[in-house]
Amino acid sequence: MAAGLPSDLSSDREADAGGVPVIRVHLLGAFDVSVAGQVVSENAWRQRKAAAVVKLLALDPANRLHRERLIDLLWPELDYDAGLNNLRQALYHARRELQRGGMPAGSVLRRDGEMVVLAAGDGVWVDVQAYERAARQAWRAPSPDSIRAAIDLYAGDLLPDDVYEEWTEPLRTTLRAGYLALLTRLGELHVERGQPDRAIDAWQRLVQAEQGLESAHRSLMRAYAETGQPEMALRQYDRLATILARDLDEHPEPATRELARAIAEGQIPVVISSSASSERAHPVMNLPSPVSSLVGRTREVAEVRQLLSTERLVTLTGPGGIGKTRLAIEAARGVTDDFPDGVAFIDLSSLADPELVIPAIAQALSVRETAGEALGATLVATVRDRNLLLVLDNFERVTGAGRDIASLLEQAPSLKALVTSRVRLRLRGEREYPVPPLANADDAEPGTVTDAVALFVERSRAVQPQFQLTDENAVTVDAICRRLAGLPLAIELAAARSRLLKPEAILNRLKRPLELLASGPLDLPARQQTIRATIQWSADLLDAGAQQFFTRLSAFAGGWTLEAAEAVAGDSSASPDALGYLEALVDQNLVTQLVQPDGEVRFGMLETIREFGLERLADSGEEEAIRDRHAAWVVRLAEQAEPNLEGTEQARWLARLEQEADNIRAALAWLREQGNAEPALRLVSVLRLTWFSRG
């Protein structure tokens, strides 16, 4: 058995504890099923839907699915009754073939209420699940042995005969990215340990799996050179050049050409001159710098980086609060060297009109409109030959702009896009990466501090420095993280209560909102219900004044200053303490705080929390008054800027108005919706010079 491999991953057992023969299902590289060591004939699966039922049940971590889910996946075009009839026939065929293979009658593909279960107890072994367990262990405690134990289980891509089935594509993409990332990490580990000869095997496997992965070719060239094989290194360079010319009509990157030159000139260890970097343009680098550290996500960051090395459009999907934005920022930060022209971060959370996406990208890249040419054409001309990464955050509200992104990528062959969205864009060439929740104790070895628990502890220490994870509270903290389904935002909101409450009290207070939520809409995903309940719980723990202040602040789009908060959310009759309220909201992670380069402090909300605030604002009876107040504040700001838009203060005021662009859009939209033309026209009149100057 390979070192570091849990016993259940390579077990030869052929029956569970109850004596029922074990079904072994292989989905990686090919689909085959065996019962008690005997392979079920390939001819048994000529009924493709019967095979698909087994595949879907095997892919589910619990090997069970609701029958409506099976119908939706396999017969989406049929009504429920017709789909149910087809499902019964598929189950009949699959059950018959598995029983012929040796499974006792009644032990396989059983009904459990509305659920369909592949087999009871430990009666199923699936290679995907075995690989995933080994991969989790490899990322949790990386070593050459643990990584090899995982990659040896990866027999090939998921269900290669089902590449056109929509239900296989996201998982296939994720599994393949994970496999390539593990190979990369294996090579890096050997390099870190001064073992370039052992790294060569990992790089060779990586190049074999992904022939066009230039970074892997560079690593292999360097390893050959450092083990006294410069001729092999140069041969590898020639092989890469051939692959790029044949498949992509491209040449190796400057860094690769420079590496080949250094090896040819005998510079071993390899010394790279600065000539390659001199080809860089002035890179765009506007990635946000979150104040708090990223806890966990080592595996996810590596997998997304791997996808970005091979794909041009990668979409991180998942519910609000799962950590898509934070993961995108960290992954993008790790690949900046691969994009000589930089990384541009574009926050789309405040946009509702898809037609504003291209202008938002142009603004981030400092592309201005030119007379007689559409802005989109100018943008294409600007980025066509640039090796640039666009990080498009919160795309779910402007999915109608997906075709614009596809067109931009098509016309700019060196451009790539990393998108975060609650839904996929459904574009050709898109690679979806579903962001998983943080791991809980079910996924870890006994006694391991999981990523979810580690996040809770770190965020608790931020508000209560004396907080410690002890033998006494560890089980409770884990229970909190489980109850919150491993959602990072929910965990952070709960951890913020550690200033006043012990873990036991936090867990007790989490029970009520989650139980109340159980009677809510059944079509909402459980995780989305959980995050809504957690935000509700955190908001309800504020005093009445802070709750009202929080609700009113949701009228802002794209952030605000303390003075703006006082003007829009303040209420003199209640003698509000705006700074005190903001401090309380920041402490509870309901409001974020960001120090600008000029030292000014701005505040904002994550889009998930702002949506919750807007719902409460609509229910409060104050929505019209607060939105009117917000629009009036925007108009006053524009009028204050007007006399300064020409002269020595022009640059400062243009920058200020650009900073408030999202609030300006929100105000104009509200004024138009209310039919309030006079202030809207006044605002447009004042801003005409800004729009002319800044496009």
Q: What is the 3-class SS of 424-466, one letter each residue? A: CCCCCCEEEEECCCCCCHHHCCCCCCCHHHHHHHHHHHHHCCC
* Number of other CB atoms surrounding residue 663 within 10 Å: 24
Higher pLDDT, 371 or 496: 496
pLDDT band at 516 (very low <50, low <70, confident <90, very high): very low
Which of 110-119, 301-310, 441-450 is most confident? 301-310
Triad 302, 308, 309: Cα angle to 5°: 90
Q: What is the pLDDT of residue 527?
A: 40
N residues, the chain: 695
Average pLDDT value over all residues in the chain: 85
Q: How many CA atoms within 13 Å lie on the side-chain side of 194?
A: 0
Beta-strand ranges (E) seen in 6-143 are: 23-26, 32-35, 38-39, 64-66, 108-112, 115-119, 124-126
Which of 181-195, 254-268, 309-323, 653-667 is most confident? 181-195
Helices (H), 448-525: 451-463, 474-483, 488-495, 503-517
Q: Name the least confident of 58-62, 388-392, 502-506, 579-583.
A: 579-583
Which of 64-68, 414-418, 482-486, 516-520 is most confident? 414-418
Q: Residue 375 in 3-state DSSP?
A: helix
pLDDT band at 123 (very low <50, low <70, confident <90, very high): confident
Supply 265's token pair.
């000139």
Q: What is the pLDDT of residue 162?
A: 94
The answer to whether residue 690 scores a pLDDT higher than 90 is no
Higher pLDDT, 617 or 598: 617
If phi > 0 it is left, if psi is from -120 to 50 it is alpha, else beta; for residue 436 that is beta
Give strand pairing partners of 418: 314, 391
Triad 321, 322, 328: Cα angle to 5°: 105
Burial 617-646 (b: 16+ CB within 10 A, else e): beeeebbeebbbbbbebbbebbeebbeebe
CA–CA gap between residue 170 and residue 168 (Å, rounded)? 6
pTM: 0.76
Closest CA relative to residue 179, chosen from 43, 303, 82, 16:
303
pLDDT band at 245 (very low <50, low <70, confident <90, very high): very high
Closest CA relative to residue 289, chosen from 608, 597, 652, 654:
597
H or E segment to which residue 418 belongs = strand 415-421
Contact 427, 310 (CB under 8 A): no
- Under DSSP, the state recorded for 273 is -
32-35 and 23-26 as β-strands: parallel, antiparallel, unpaired? antiparallel
Q: What is the pLDDT of residue 574?
A: 45
Closest CA relative to residue 404, chosen from 380, 387, 424:
380
Contact 188, 60 (CB under 8 A): no
601-604 and 592-595 as β-strands: parallel, antiparallel, unpaired? antiparallel
CA–CA gap between residue 169 and residue 59 (Å, rounded)? 12
If phi > 0 it is left, if psi is from -120 to 50 it is alpha, else beta; for residue 280 that is beta
Residue 209 CA: distances (Å) to CA of 162, 213, 374, 568? 19, 9, 42, 57
The answer to whether residue 525 scores a pLDDT higher than 80 is no
Closest CA relative to residue 535, chosen from 505, 496, 579:
496
Q: Letter for the amino acid at 266?
A: G
Q: Name the least confident of 29-33, 511-515, 578-582.
A: 511-515
Supply 277's token pair.
């970097």
The answer to whether residue 5 scores a pLDDT higher than 60 is no
Q: What is the pLDDT of residue 269?
A: 67
313-317 and 415-421 as β-strands: parallel, antiparallel, unpaired? parallel
* pLDDT, tens only, 402-441: 999 999 999 999 999 999 998 889 898 999 998 988 876 5
Place of tokens 């491209």: 250
* Number of other CB atoms surrounding residue 443 within 10 Å: 20
CA–CA gap between residue 501 and residue 654 (Å, rounded)? 46
DSSP conformation letters of 175-241: HHHHHHHHHHHHHHHHHHTT-HHHHHHHHHHHHHH-TT-HHHHHHHHHHHHHTT-HHHHHHHHHHHH
Q: Name the least confident of 123-127, 350-354, 555-559, 588-592.
A: 588-592
CA–CA gap between residue 302 and residue 187 (Å, rounded)? 13
Q: Letter for the amino acid at 435?
A: V
pLDDT band at 337 (very low <50, low <70, confident <90, very high): confident
Supply 678's token pair.
């006079």
Q: Letter for the amino acid at 304?
A: V
Supply 259's token pair.
């590496």
Q: What is the pLDDT of residue 593?
A: 76
Q: What is the pLDDT of residue 238?
A: 96
Closest CA relative to residue 322, chosen from 637, 118, 607, 131:
607
pLDDT band at 649 (very low <50, low <70, confident <90, very high): confident
The answer to whether residue 519 scores a pLDDT higher than 50 is no
Higher pLDDT, 89 or 594: 89
What number is the average pLDDT over the span 209-215? 92
How large is the greatest C-alpha to C-alpha distance in the chain, in angstroms? 87
- Under DSSP, the state recorded for 314 is E
